[in-house]
Chains A and B, each alone.
Chain A
Amino acid sequence: MRARVVAGGIVSSAAVLVIGWQLGGQPALTAPAQQGTTASGGPSSTGGSSTDGGSSASGGAAASGGASASGSFTGAAAETQYGEVQVRVTIADGRITDVTALHLTDRDGRSVAISQQAAPILRQEALQAQSAQIQAVSGATFTSEGYTTSLQSAIDQAGL
């Protein structure tokens, strides 16, 4: 199982990336992270830059070869459905150990409420997905055709 670490561009696709990570060889889970955001520029604290969120590595040592990497990486700010978000990812031995939302917009009162929710969500999805502690996914009902590409299908196949 190869570790893939992407710091830059992780902002709004942490779960996708990390899910793909923890399941390694399950292609169904490494759904392409189509950012659809304004993430641009490189991570502020590292040389590596990735905005495709798919396969690039940052920080050099954390390339897709699975080599152990450690340190903190700051992603570029991105516009998400929850507002502008920037995330710092802490990596130890090639694994994400913490995700911190560094900046959240507060354009108006409503956005503050949104952001306060977004921070724990972003953190949670990354951490939870990594540890693969779910056996089912609850979402709007999928069709039998849609199941094939669903997260549930991937979990079922993994037999987690």
Chain B
Amino acid sequence: MTVTTFTTMGTVVTLRGAGPAAAAEVRAVFAGYDHRYSLHDPASVLSRIAAGTLRLSDAPAAVREVYALALAWRDRTGGAFTPHRPDGVVDLSGVVKALAVRDAGAALDAHAEDWMISAGGDVLVRGRYRPDTSWAVGVVDPARRDTVVGVVRLDGTRRSVCTSGTAERGEHVWRRSVPTFVQATVVADDVVTADVLATAVVADDEDDLRRLTAPGDVDVLAFGVDGTVWATPGAARVVAPDAGAVAPRAR
């Protein structure tokens, strides 16, 4: 299967099932978000807001809508996820990558039935890897990034897997107190939910985890700093023995 990769937003995007035209559209989606929301680019809308040369209320509607979305997620996560840096700067990087992946998915939909996109480890899929095989996403070992500790099979309505960790470079993980988790993987129907909740869980404690997972609309696999592994019922199969995996492959 064709694999396309390109660098954007400080990380690398991997595409599968995308032809050159689709890949070009996806690149444009990421470039557009980066152009507006990057705090590394002094000319971006967010940088100008941070510098005080542009008022948020005067920002383009699309930017204000993203900010509103981030605020809604702040409320849903009880503040564990927030678009405000400790120094007061509005930082939307916590949702922007996921939004770019979401929009990239919409672009890919116009080209193919089966595709996968991963942006720095945030994964969204559609359809299947092969006619008889679901897309499968390995969950990295929080202690060793070259090791996989489990496999998420994306079938049914679950289309996205996102992971957040204390090793994350992202500035949007701001710890509220003593850390409980070193890594959280969230499996959800959409990439924004998965990404935001993964960020929130890492910033949260056990009680928050129970609260966030109570609605049952996501599956979570979380690794505690003490070595405990937490899994919702839906995520338990991620680390459960799977007889099908034993089948030998043809060389």
**Which A residues lie at the B interface, using CB under 8 A?**
1, 13, 15-16, 19, 22, 29, 31, 81-83, 95, 97-98, 110, 113-114, 117-118, 120-121, 123-125, 127-144, 147, 149-153, 156, 159
Per-residue interface assignment for chain B, residues 103 to 146, with 1 indicating a CB less than 8 Å from any chain A CB and 0 otherwise: 00000000000001010111100000100010111111111111
Q: Are A142 and B120 in touch, CB under 8 angstroms?
A: yes
Q: Chain B interface: which size bin?
A: 35 or more
In the assembly, what is the distance between CA of A113 and CA of B246, in Å? 26
Which residue in B138, B141, B169, B170 is a CB contact (below 8 Å) of A136?
A: B138
Residues in B with CB closer than 8 Å to A1 are: 251
B163 part of interface (Cβ distance < 8 Å): yes
In the assembly, what is the distance between CA of A57 and CA of B58, in Å? 66
Which residue in A95, A117, A147 is a CB contact (below 8 Å) of B239?
A: A117
Q: Are A140 and B148 in touch, CB under 8 angstroms?
A: no
Instruction: Assess A140 versus B165: contact at CB under 8 Å? Given A113-B228, A124-B241, A134-B137.
Output: yes
Shortest distance in angstroms between A88's beta carbon and chain B's nearest beta carbon?
Answer: 14
Interface SS of chain B: helix, strand, loop or mixed? strand
Residues in A with CB closer than 8 Å to B139 are: 137-139
Which residue in A95, A98, A114, A137 is a CB contact (below 8 Å) of B140?
A: A137
Residues in B with CB closer than 8 Å to A22 are: 249
Can you show 17 pairs from A to B with CB atoms below 8 A apart?
A: A16-B144, A118-B229, A124-B242, A125-B141, A125-B148, A127-B245, A134-B137, A134-B151, A135-B135, A138-B139, A139-B163, A139-B183, A141-B97, A142-B11, A143-B120, A144-B7, A144-B11
In the assembly, what is the distance between CA of A136 and CA of B147, in Å? 13
Residues in A with CB closer than 8 Å to B129 are: 135
Known: A121-B229, A124-B151. 6 other contacts (CB 8 A): A95-B248, A113-B228, A124-B239, A142-B169, A144-B12, A147-B12
Residues in B with CB closer than 8 Å to A134 are: 136-138, 148, 151
In the assembly, what is the distance between CA of A19 and CA of B139, in Å? 14
Shortest distance in angstroms between A70's beta carbon and chain B's nearest beta carbon?
Answer: 13
Residues in B with CB closer than 8 Å to A131 are: 245-247, 249
Closest to B12 in A: A147
